[in-house]
Structure 1
């Protein structure tokens, strides 16, 4: 590999570490470029514990594999099974400036160093008012996401849609999606100098994603707390839910435990928002899946992670006949009516009490992961399966900052699962 190509890989090292569909790239290189990747190379790459380690190992190997290695790598990225031509554009300088990024040299350098912001909450419990977000830098700059949702096949749709264990997802559009995104805050608030840089990237990614998954998306941008509550209540009352198969609510802003901020610095209670869509308050959505995604801090604790020792797999902690050993008869604890909050999936970017990280040029870790996973895997995976992958991807990120309070920060997203059936989006199916 010549010096020019080596320099391109080195310059874009962080970008590649966070974007490569490494498993697919390895497969394509192995099949199409045996002089670049051989059996022992594949074995070494696949032995790495994390995707990041696999990407790093491949990037270290490529410069040692001759003058054709860089072109073979680019060809693999453009292969139909990888579909990462946008990375080739980035390597060759053809990529566009991410939304929210600056073309100013000094500001661009700051972005490359990872200057970002996160919202920090007050004490746990009922917040008395806004607290000031702190500035935190991240080293995981991913670049813009080209949102292209892979379609479901007719065969897979017919195999799964005919089963009673799956929610019905056949309408076109599938349903309505409401996306709340606050990125700037009123001059009268303590948040006035803390814009959510990168929030517009999140908005673009998430709205494009759900449009391509078959939803009609409605946006509520830079609204006050009252405007958010009134807007979502109006959305919950929409007659279109009667004929819809599904409903999605996305809310992105600064936050504290169980609340997000309106543009005016007032708080919106998250449980109250969720209750607008329960079986009592939103009867047209009874029995239909309702998905909630929140992007905001849930506290001020910075999770620095911990070393996890290898533990032999000892199997299940419960005996195989655990339920069979129960004695007596089950009795209902209440009336046999349907519970109020069924058929819901409630997803948060971080655990209660913890901060959530966001990059100014590329958006939040959580929304980036959500977009990437859903657009590639909604074709044949359930929402719960995809969210497991999202959780893993988010947890693999690490914050880098000059502030020791946040350096090495980790994040673990989580979901509250109340779905009663398997949920597939069946993207591209119009029947």
Structure 2
């Protein structure tokens, strides 16, 4: 995965408006697993696309959508009566990026598993449906808010999930179709 990202980081993106990467794998906090089961830091996958390494992406959005567990705890809807124990702080993501114009969409929040069922990843399904239905009228953050709501509405034994978005985008991002 790192080799693929480094190779892409050497490419010329002058003719493109943005870079989009989608990864579906297993994971752990701040990591995704490669096919040989090596945990790769998500930040290491983002680095080759940073402006210093890939100047043709300067000022352009670099979007990463990742379906991978970020821990081993299971999310779930709770009610007030469920709070009978002390709430512990969640571990945070390792340093995300110091680069502007990067968006990282994760299928779950740090510390938790990413839901998957016989139909695959609900996060990826909701993401593709929302992009299809809401573009070009709504910007990426509105689309991702919709995805997060849909994740939370999942009825799987009463559980509700929350996806996670980290962003250093400096402008609203709309997906426009080129009619050529």
TM-score tier (shorter) = 0.7 to 0.9
Q: 2 CA distance for matches of 1:298 and 1:232?
A: 21
Match of 2:147 in 1: 390
Does residue 277 of structure 1 match 2:49? Answer: yes
Equivalent position of 1:236 in the other structure: 9
Query: Could you give the per-residue CA deviations for residues 202-247 of structure 1, whole angstroms, max 9, x where no partner exists?
Result: xxxxxxxxxxxxxxxxxxxxxxxxxx110111112112x1221110
Contact 1:280 1:340 in 2 (8 A): no
Distance 1:291 1:301 in 2: 26
Match of 2:168 among 418, 422, 429: 418
What is the Cα-based RMSD across aligned positions, in Å?
Answer: 1.6
Is the partner of 1:363 in helix, strand or coil?
Answer: coil
TM-score normalised over the length of structure 1: 0.37
- Provide the C-alpha distance between the structure 1 equivalents of 2:68 and 2:7, rounded to a whole number of angstroms: 23
TM-superposed CA distance for 1:379, in Å, is: 2.4
Gap regions ≥5 residues in structure 2: 81-96
Partners of 1:411 and 1:380 lie apart in 2 by 26
- The answer for unaligned runs of 5 or more in structure 1 is 1-227, 309-338, 401-407
1:304 aligned to 76, 84, 87, which one?
Answer: 76
Partner of 1:354: 112
Alignment match of 2:127 (pick from 370, 380, 386) = 370
Partner Cα distance (1:271, 1:409) in 2: 30
**Cα pair 1:341 1:418 within 8 Å, conserved:** yes
The alignment covers a number of residue pairs equal to 164
User: Could you tell me whether the CA contact under 8 Å between 1:303 and 1:354 is conserved in 2?
Assistant: yes
Tell me which protein shows more strand as a share of its residues.
Answer: 2
Structure-2 separation of matches of 1:353 and 1:340: 23
More helix, by proportion: 1
Q: How far apart are 1:428 and its partner, in Å? A: 4.3
SS where residue 111 of structure 2 aligns? Answer: coil
